[in-house]
Structure 1
C-alpha cells in the first residue's frame, strides 16, 4: 500500500517484476534445501550445525549461478528487465541481492526445522516494518527508481546476521544436546531432493513467469496492478504454507502423527482461508482503492479470482506437506508440474481475450482442477484413508470449536442466594465478596465453579446440578466419595479423594462445595511432561491401590455381564442409523459381545473400585512436569460414574486411551481403533507394557474401556447421541474395525 501511494505505477510495476524474479531465482537456488531442512533437521542432534552451514554455503554458490544465468538469458526472457540489468554494477548488485535473499529465505526453514517456528513471524514482522520505513526514505533521492527493490533487500542485511547468531548461540547447542533420531542416507536424500526439487522448479517457474508474462503482454502499469493483487493474495497463500512447514517439522519429530496433524491443519487452514478469501473478495473494490484509484478497474476482478484460488491451493499445500513428510516426493512433482502446466495452458488461452483478468482465471482453474484431481485419485487409490482424514478433520473442527468454548477459567457467573451463603460460611468470607467463575464454559448436566474470596487465597469448588440428571449425578458422587473414604480410611490413598465441605439439597438448589485440589490439572501437566510413561504408570498405580482397597475375588455372573457388557452395547445399537448401516453395526456389536463373554464368563476376577472416567482432566499432579518420574498424583476428582465392582486395570486402559487421544488431537474412538489393530503410531503408554500390569489381553481391556467410555457419555448427555461426527469418530470407526478385522 505504501509503495503504491509513494511511487508511480510504471516504477512500481518494474520493481515488482524485479523482486518477483529475484525471489524465484532464490527459491530455485535453494536446491530444495529448505524442504530438506524442514523435514530432517529436528532429528539430527549434534550434526545440526554442520548441516545448516553446509546448506548455506551450497545455497550461496547456487544463488550466484542462477542469477548469472538469468542475466545472460534475460534478453530473450524479458527485454524490459534487460534494460535495467544491462550495466555491470546493476548485474553484480542483482546477483548479490539474489544470494542474500536465498540465505534469508533458507533461514526460515532452519528455524522451522529446529522447531523454533515462533521466531519466523517475529523476523518477518521486523522485515515488514523496516521495508515500509525504507520505502519512504528513498523518495526524492537518486535511488528512487529502484526504491521498492532496495527497500525489499536492505532489511535482510541486518536480519541475516542477527537470526543466525541466535541460531548458532542458542538453537544449535540445544539441538546438539538431543538424541539424533534421523538417519540421513544418501540414496533417500537424493531421491527426495530430485523429485521434490523438480516440483519446486515447476512451481517457481509458474510464480516467477506470471508477472513477467503480464509485463510483456500488458506493460508496467498492468504489472503494477498484478503485483498489488498478488501481494494481497500471497499473504493468504502464506497461511497454508506456514501450516504446511510447521506440520512437516512436527511430523519429523513424531512420524506417527502425520494424519492427525494433517487433519488439524486442513481444518484450520480451510476455515481461515474461507473467511479471509471471502472477505477480501467482497471488499475487493475498497481494498484496492486504498492503493489508489488507478489500481481498481480490471484489478478488482483479478483480486477476487486470485484470493478464491487460495482456497483449493491451501488444502493442496497441506497434501503436499503430508506427502513430503512421508517421503512421497513423486506425488509432489506430479501435483506441482500439473498445476503449472494447467496455469500456462489456461493463461495462453485466456489472456488474449481477458487481459490481466485471464491470469486470475488461469490460477483459479489450475488450483481447482488439481485439487479435484487429487481428491478423485486418492478416493480411488485409498478410499479408507480419505474417509479417515475427512473424519479426523471433521472431529478436529468439532474439538476446535469446543476448545474455543471451553476455557480453564470461564466468565464470572452469579451465585444463588443459598450458594453464596453456604460458600461464605465455608470460606469464612462475606457473601458479597465472593467471585464465582465457571471452570468450563461447556457443561453437561452440572456446572463446575471456582469460588474465591476477597483475600484471593481462600477458594473452593462449587458443583451445581442444572438438570434432574445432574441431581442424580451429584447424589451418586457424594455417595461414592463417602464409601471410598470409608474403604480408604487409614490408607495413604485417602489424600487423593475429594473432600466435600458442604452438601446442599434444597427444593430449588442442589450443589456441593468441595475443597480445592492441590497441584496442576492433568491436561496441562501431561502436555509439558517429558517422561509421559512414568507419569501414566504412577497414575495407574494410584488407581490400582484404590481398586485393591475393596477388591475381592468374585465369580463373574450373568448379571455382571449384563451391566458391564450388554447395557453399553444396547446404547450403541440404539443409535440412529440407516437400515444397511444398522445391519453392519449389529454384526460388529455381536462380535464384541462374543469377545467379552468368551473372556469373562466362568472366571474368578478381583472386582473393586472403578473410577468410570479416569482421564487427565480428572487428575491433579504436583512436582515438576519436566520429569514425570519426579511428579506425584495429588488428587482424583469426579467420581459420579464410579462402580465398586470394576475389573482390575480397566481404569488404566481408559487413561491410556484418553491420554493418547489428547496427545494426538483425535477422538478416543480413533485412538482405540489404531491400538486394537496396530494401524497407527505407538502409544506413549500402554498398560500391558507396564511393570505393574495384570495379564488381561489388550483387545479385551481396550474394547471394554471404550465401551464404558461410550456408555458414560451417552448416559451423561443427549448431545453425544445427536452429534453425527462424534458418533462416526467414536462409535462407527471402531465398529468398522471389528467388521473388517474380526476378533
Structure 2
C-alpha cells in the first residue's frame, strides 16, 4: 500500500514584502489578515445581496433568474479555470523570491487560456437553458476570463500578505457593480444585469494589476525556496482535482433548480444561495490567512491551529445566526414570493455551517502539512451526495430539498474528514 503524498512543511520564512514591526507586524499576522479577508467577504456578500435586491425590484423575476444562472455558470467555470493555482499561490508564493513576478504572469496566462476553453466548452455543451441570444453567446467566454483573473488576483495578494488590498479591491467592486445595476434597471433585461456584474470586475482587475506590477512587486528579491518539482506536481494535481470536484456543486445546483422548477424559482433560490454562499465564504475567508502564516512559521503551528479553530467557530456561529434570524426579515423586504419560499431553505442551509467549518479546518491543515490524498475522497463524497440527492429531493420537497441535500452532503463529508483530521492533530501533539 502506497503512502499518502506529502509536501515537506517548511520552517519559519522571511516575508517577501517588507513589513513594519510592532503593531503593524502583528496586524499582518493570522488575526489581521483573517480579519481583512472576512471584512472583504462580509462586505462583498452584503453588497451582493443588495445587488440582487435591486435587481429583483428593478427587473422581472424571470430576467433576474436568467441573469443569475449566467453569472453563476461563469463564476463556477472561472473557479475551474484557475486550475487550483489560487491554492498554489497561497501555499508557495511566499517562497518564490525573485521569480515571483514571472510566476504570477505565467499563472495569469495559463488560467486565461483555460478560461477561454471552459467558456467555449460551455457554449457547446451546456448553454441552451442559460444563454439566450447571439450577444450572450459571444461574450460568455470573455466573462469567464474576467472572473478567472479577478478571482486569482485575490490569491496573489493573499500570498504576498496583502490581504487588506483584497478587501479594498472587493469592496470597491461591490459598490461599483451595485451602482451599475441600479443605473441599468430601466432596460429590464438579463444582459444588463450581467454587464453590471462583469464590467466593474474588468476595471478592478486592470487597476489592481497596474499597481501590483508597477509598485507592489518592486522590492521582492532573494532566491526561491520551493520544494522539489515532483512534490509541487503532486500538490498541484491533487488540489486541482479537489477544486474541480468542489466547483461542481455551486455550478450545478442553480442549473438543477432552473431546470426542474423554472426561472422564477431560481430567482428565489439564487437570493438564498447567495446569502448562504456569503456565510460559507466568510468561514472560508480565514483559511488563506492561516495557510500563509503556517507556511511562514512552522514552529508556531499548534498555536495557529488553536487560534484558527476559535475563529472558525465564531464565524460559523455568526453565519448560522444570519441565516436563521436575519434572512427571513431580509426576504420579507425583497418581496412576498421570496418571503414565502426562502426562509425554510435558509434555515436548513444554516444547519450545514458547523460541518462546513470542520471541512475548512481539515482542508487548511492538510494543505499546510501536505496530507492531500484524502482531500479528493472528501470532496467526492460531498459533491456526489449534494448533487445526487438534489434531484429526488427537489421532486419531493421543492426548493427546500436542495437545502436538505446540501446538509446531508456536508455532514457526511465532515464525518469522513474527522478521521484524517484527528490523525494530523495527534501527530502534531506527538512531534511537539
Same-fold status (TM-score > 0.5): yes
Pairwise CA distance, 1:377: 4.9
Look up the match of 1:13. 65
Equivalent residues in 2 for 1:152-191, closer than 5 Å: 152-176=197-221, 179-180=222-223, 182-191=225-234
User: What residue number does 1:139 align with?
Assistant: 185
**Which structure would you say has the larger RCO, counting Cα contacts within 8 Å and 6 or more residues apart?**
2
- SS of 1:79 mapped into structure 2: coil
- 1:376–1:132 CA distance, 2 compared to 1 (3 A): same
Q: 1:41–1:48: 8 Å Cα contact kept in structure 2?
A: yes
Q: How does 1:198-347 map to 2 (within 5 A)?
A: 198-347=241-390
Aligned to 1:490: none
Aligned to 1:42: 94
Other-structure match for 1:384: 426
Q: CA RMSD in A?
A: 1.9
Deviations 1:544-582 (A, max 9, x none): xxxxxxxxxxxxxxxxxxxxxxxxxxxxxxxxxxxxxxx
How far does the alpha carbon of each residue in 1:220-251 deviate from its partner, in whole angstroms, 9 at most, with x for none?
01111111001111111111221001111112
* Structure 2 counterpart of 1:69, from 114, 121, 130: 121
What is the Cα deviation at residue 272 of structure 1? 2.0
Mapped partners of 1:181, 1:310: distance in 2: 38
Is 1:99 matched up with 2:145?
yes
Distance in 1, matches of 2:268 and 2:94, equals: 41
Q: 1:251/1:382 Cα in 2 relative to 1: closer, same or farther (>3 Å)?
A: closer
Question: Partners in 1 of 2:393 and 2:343 — Cα distance?
Answer: 17
Deviation of 1:163 (Å): 0.7
- Superposition deviation, residue 73 in structure 1: 0.3
Q: CA deviation at 1:9?
A: 1.4
Within a 5 Å distance, the mapping from 1:178-577 to structure 2 comes to 179-180=222-223, 182-379=225-422, 381=423, 384-385=426-427
Count of residues in Structure 1 that have an aligned counterpart in Structure 2: 380
Corresponding residue of 1:109: 155
Structure with higher Rg: it is 1
Is contact 1:278–1:308 with CA below 8 Å preserved after alignment? no
Counterpart of 1:533 in structure 2 is none
Residue 74 (structure 2) aligns with: 22
Higher percent of residues as strand = 1
Q: Deviations over 1:298-339 (max 9, x none)?
A: 211111122332232123112201111222222221221111
User: Is residue 99–residue 224 contact of structure 2 (8 Å, CA) maintained in 1?
Assistant: no
Contact 1:243 1:318 in 2 (8 A): no
TM-score (norm 1): 0.49
User: Which structure shows the higher helix fraction?
Assistant: 2
Q: Offset at 1:383?
A: 7.2
Q: What is the distance in 1 between the residues matched to 2:111 and 2:357?
A: 27
User: Per-residue deviation at 1:364?
Assistant: 1.0
What's the offset of the Cα at 1:150? 1.1
Deviation digits for residues 401-426 of structure 1 (CA, Å, limit 9, x no counterpart): xxxxxxxxxxxxxxxxxxxxxxxxxx
Deviation at 1:170, TM superposition (A): 2.7
What is residue 510 of structure 1 aligned with on the other side?
A: none
Question: TM-score, structure 2 length as denominator?
Answer: 0.84
The separation in 1 between residues aligned to 2:84 and 2:301, in whole angstroms, is 21
Q: 1:330 to 1:377 in 2, by over 3 A?
A: closer
How far off its partner does 1:367 sit? 0.9
Residue 290 of structure 1 aligns to a residue in which SS? helix
Alpha-carbon separation, structure 1, partners of 2:425 and 2:271: 41
| Runs of 5+ unmatched residues, structure 1 | 389-676, 681-743
Write the distance in 2 (CA, Å) between the matches of 1:304 and 1:368: 15
Measured in 1, the distance between the counterparts of 2:104 and 2:313 equals 33
Which structure 2 segments of 5+ residues have no match? Answer: 1-52
Preserved contact between residue 58 and residue 186 of structure 2 (Cα < 8 Å): no
Would the aligned equivalents of 2:55 and 2:185 in 1 still touch at CA under 8 Å?
no
